[in-house]
Structure 1
Amino acid sequence: MHRVIISGIGAEIPEPVITNEELVASFNSWVDTENARRADTGEPLLQKSDSDFIVHASGVKSRHVIEREGILDPTRMSPRIPARPDDALSLEAEFGIASARKALAHAGVDGSDIDLVICSASHHQRPYPAIAIEMQEALGTKGAGFDMGLGCSSAAAALHVAVNLVRAGAHKRVLVSTPEIITGHLNFRDRQTHFIFGDASVAMVVEGLAQGEKRPGRFEVLDTRTWTQMSNNIRTNLGYYTRTAQEDPYMINLEGNLIKQVGNKVFKEVTVAGQKFIVEFLAEHGLTPGGIRRFWLHQANARMNAMILKLSFGHDVDHDRAPMVLE
């Protein structure tokens, strides 16, 4: 069994930013128009949003996005992402490559030193050809490539796969890239979810470490663990069968098919399960939360992270121990 390290990391963050105030102004403008229509039909009126609600619910104050004008247009409320010809690099591959090149440079290797590419994201631009294989060709990597996804845990799940493939000797050096363009799938007309996510791409190079070899400044992976549990409290029904359930299969109806969640139930499920998972995993290695210098938790909800840590430690934990990027 090989020792394994994360030898390189990279991140690509889009420049455009949308603040809570801008997002709320767009949403409330649409609500005004929609409520005027509903007043005539007798449908229940929609509730407006505000920045205080968003910060209290999530801790999010702003988000980086691929494209902001389309999102903030109350008549559209979706990013404008032009289609590209088949022989051009796809947006997801382009985004993934941007972070991948930074990770390769950090690791001191180039594409030809990679023998597996994993593109793991909560949403993929298409089912095939795999985005990972498109990246593989553009980067000049060897071996194979495949796509995978596990919602918000996509990067962590891919790291688990990469580490164990290297540890088993199946691959020498794996590139993991997670290009998340979640704004393309968000429902910006849903008060409960429109503020949660933005866009970003991250990448890691995972490789073996020879016996006795040292790589200062790099993280050695001692162990990884995965665990999943079914829940409908955060869900999307948009997929390649969506059109088959509709009267006109050539006109896709997005109503009810975009991301939706029951926030309070997600909070309860994740905080309880997260704390239990962390404590039990550390205990298997003779460790306690107090013996860990730093925790990197899911960066989508500050309240959720704070509660997981409080349950794990028995007291509040500061941002030095558990950094947050939401502010």
Structure 2
Amino acid sequence: MLRRTSEQGASEIANRNFNLRGSNAMTRVCVSGIGVEIPEASISNEELVESFNSWVDAENPKRAEKGLPALAKSDAGFIEHASGIKRRHVYEREGILDPSRMAPRIPARADDDLSVMAEFGVAAAKKALDHAGVSARDVDLVICASAHHQRPYPAIAIEIQKAIGAVGAGFDMGLGCSSALAGLHVAANLVRAGAHRRVLVVTPELITAHLNFRDRQTHFIFGDASVAVLIEALGASEERPGRFEIVDTGSWTQFSNNIRTNFGFLSRVAQEDPSYMEIEGNLIKQNGNKVFKDVTIAGHQFIVDFLAEHGHTPETMRRFWLHQANARMNAMILKLAFGAEVGHDRAPMVLDRLGNTAAAGAIIALKENHEDMKPGEHGLLCAFGAGYSIGGALMRMM
């Protein structure tokens, strides 16, 4: 049985604090705004495979001279069959398809200029605030929750806070592809406990800048996108039609090396010549088959257990907005939960055209597939990531 880090412990502490202040109930919380920013440029499977295979053709003679085994080529049809991905949107297309480079060209910016990641986050943040009808001045905490961060400090969240004109505080956090759900978990409980009134969770995912396009296992998986959600307090009996009340959030982690990146400052000093850092070998890598099996089992168990804690079953959910990593994996998780195949209406997919946008994917699926829901209907937002990590949010349409 999988065990998650439940909100129960946090609720008991927060309830004690509220009781000390004379309150008998926790503050209700809602998602009042959602923003999505998707880059215009895109790359098809066929384009990506042509570039990869050209590099393989140039590389294999060199490997043969060294007595190394030949590299296998990639295949567009297999990519779609294995993952469900047909194309992906990218922040910068130039350089990715060049076999001599195979990385996007994103020029460095001066320290006093808005960073690339913050700029990407700001675009989604402004859309979330517009959707909520809230001024940035009314936001008292910004969390930048992403799988990858451009730098350790100053925090990207603080830079976003300044750029949009928010007040209060900001901090960064990361939990792989579960980062947005982890951020939502923290934000919802901070608001619920009364520590903050409005929290903006921003998830700018520039994954292609961290991707090794020469790795056949991962070169096709990821795309870029930026999302943001605004979490607000609700009055005791307040209803906001068209918005979601967050019933509960949860998270679960279990250590695994099957999805890993070693890109960090210790990589430099681990080498004989610390003035030169070997980057490619420290980028994203994963054991795809093992990840598929492990996460399918863990994801299914988390969903069933999390819903059961609140008297729900998969059948009582109007919609599932799951992590957009692999269409086959999501289908298997839901088949285990329902005992039958589940279609797009119940569990919408966006990765066929966007690729795996890391922590942004489930939020995109939510933004694009919720306006038809009726008051009182429930949905589950759930993401799975490296770690392993899982985050979930049970939500009710108001």
TM-score with structure 2 length normalisation?
A: 0.81
Structure 1 residue 18, shift from structure 2 partner: 0.3
Structure 2 Cα separation of the partners of residues 277 and 69 of structure 1: 40
Structure 2 Cα separation of the partners of residues 212 and 112 of structure 1: 26
- 1:137-286 matches, within 5 Å, as 137-286=162-311
Which residue is 2:379 aligned to? none
2:102 pairs with 1:77? yes
Structure 1 Cα separation of the partners of residues 150 and 303 of structure 2: 32
Structure 1 residue 302, shift from structure 2 partner: 0.5
2:80 pairs with 1:55? yes
Structure 1 Cα separation of the partners of residues 280 and 178 of structure 2: 26
Which residue is 2:156 aligned to? 131
Q: Which has the higher strand share?
A: 2
| Counterpart selection for 1:111 from 105, 126, 136 | 136
SS of 2:351's partner is coil
**Cα offsets for 1:202-235 (capped at 9, x unmatched):** 0000000011111100000000110011111111
Amino acid at match of 2:94: E
2:338 pairs with 1:320? no
Amino acid at match of 2:200: L
SS of 2:257's partner is coil
Amino acid at match of 2:133: G
Amino acid at match of 1:46: L
**Cα offsets for 1:115-150 (capped at 9, x unmatched):** 000001011000000000011111111110000000
Which residue is 1:30 aligned to? 55
Which residue is 2:363 aligned to? none
Structure 2 Cα separation of the partners of residues 65 and 214 of structure 1: 38
SS of 2:236's partner is coil
Which residue is 2:378 aligned to? none
| Counterpart selection for 1:293 from 291, 315, 318 | 318
Amino acid at match of 1:226: S
- 1:89-108 matches, within 5 Å, as 89-108=114-133
Structure 1 residue 172, shift from structure 2 partner: 0.2
TM-score with structure 1 length normalisation?
A: 0.99
| Counterpart selection for 2:147 from 107, 122, 126 | 122
Which residue is 2:388 aligned to? none
SS of 1:316's partner is coil
Structure 1 Cα separation of the partners of residues 251 and 63 of structure 2: 46
Structure 2 Cα separation of the partners of residues 248 and 58 of structure 1: 39
Unaligned runs of 5+ in 2: 1-25, 353-398
Structure 2 Cα separation of the partners of residues 326 and 184 of structure 1: 19
Contact 2:212 2:280 in 1 (8 A): no
SS of 1:318's partner is coil
Structure 1 Cα separation of the partners of residues 169 and 265 of structure 2: 25
Structure 1 residue 256, shift from structure 2 partner: 2.1
Aligned length: 327
Unaligned runs of 5+ in 1: none
Structure 1 Cα separation of the partners of residues 322 and 341 of structure 2: 15
Percent identity between the two aligned chains = 73
Which residue is 2:373 aligned to? none
SS of 1:82's partner is coil
